[in-house]
């Protein structure tokens, strides 16, 4: 067995186990920590594919920024188990049936998919940060700016929602 295959299997096991622990953990803080570990293991998969830039961006954006925002949201909401509304069994059963149906559809799509027969090689290296920057800031400038405005509005909204209003006497 090659070293890359062993590393892949270990990373896959970590990714799947932490993903399931994220879903099934009752404590939201533990779920967030499991999700961070899952994100780091996915970044390890990117490294195995020689996509170093994508791995670093994944760690910075997901494991850094988004998970910090997620943790702040959890702490802001102050979730307690006694406040948690328990779902009726019918709702749980519906969720399980929906999950199984989606899994069956995805498995059917995966089985029926055909491999790419021909691969057109353009010779351009999209791993290069220089080429990626040119593509991002020339061809995709407008969506890039829309995304930055959307993130700014979301940040302002989060600050306004967390702001405590003063009670007038």
Ordered DSSP codes for 103-123: HHHHHHHHHH----S------
Per-residue pLDDT, averaged over 79-84, amounts to 54
Chain-centroid distance of CA 122 in Å reads 30
Question: How many Cβ atoms sit within 10 Å of the Cβ of residue 51?
Answer: 16
In a domain, 87, yes or no: yes
How many independent structural domains does the chain possess? 2
In a domain, 10, yes or no: yes
Residues 107 and 141 in one domain: no
Residues 103 and 138 in one domain: no
Q: Write the pLDDT tens digit of every residue in 30-71.
A: 888 898 899 999 999 998 988 888 888 888 888 777 777 777
Residues 107 and 127 in one domain: no
Are 67 and 43 in contact by the 8 Å Cβ rule? The answer is no
Residues 145 and 76 in one domain: no
* Percentage, residues of the chain above pLDDT 90: 16
Does the model's pTM come out above 0.95?
no
In a domain, 117, yes or no: no
Residues 100 and 48 in one domain: yes
Are 46 and 58 in contact by the 8 Å Cβ rule? The answer is yes
In a domain, 116, yes or no: no
The domain boundary, picked from 111, 136, 157, lies at 111
Residues 79 and 17 in one domain: yes
Alpha carbons 34 and 29: distance in angstroms, whole number:
9
Alpha carbons 108 and 41: distance in angstroms, whole number:
27
Residues 131 and 104 in one domain: no
Alpha carbons 115 and 6: distance in angstroms, whole number:
25
In this prediction, residue 137 has a pLDDT band, given cuts at 50, 70 and 90, of: confident
The boundaries of the domain holding residue 156 are 122-169
CATH number, domain of 40, equals 1.20.120.1200
What the block records as the tokens of 108 is: 């059917």
What the block records as the tokens of 75 is: 């702490």
Alpha carbons 11 and 41: distance in angstroms, whole number:
6
For residue 5, give the DSSP letter. Answer: H
In this prediction, residue 161 has a pLDDT band, given cuts at 50, 70 and 90, of: confident
């Amino acid at each position: 067995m090659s070293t890359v295959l062993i590393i892949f299997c270990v990373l896959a096991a970590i990714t799947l186990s932490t993903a399931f622990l994220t879903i099934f953990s009752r404590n939201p803080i533990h779920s967030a920590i499991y999700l961070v570990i899952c994100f780091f293991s996915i970044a390890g998969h990117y490294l195995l594919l020689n996509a170093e830039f994508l791995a670093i961006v994944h760690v910075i954006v997901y494991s850094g920024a988004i998970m910090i925002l997620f943790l702040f949201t959890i702490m802001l909401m102050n979730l307690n188990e006694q406040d948690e509304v328990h779902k009726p069994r019918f709702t749980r059963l519906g969720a399980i049936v929906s999950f199984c149906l989606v899994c069956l559809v995805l498995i059917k799509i995966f089985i029926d998919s055909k491999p790419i027969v021909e691969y057109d090689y353009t010779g351009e290296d999209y791993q290069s940060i220089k080429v990626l920057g040119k593509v991002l800031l020339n061809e995709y400038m407008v969506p890039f700016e829309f995304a930055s405005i959307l993130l700014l509005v979301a940040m302002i909204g989060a600050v306004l929602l967390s702001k405590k209003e003063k009670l007038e006497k």
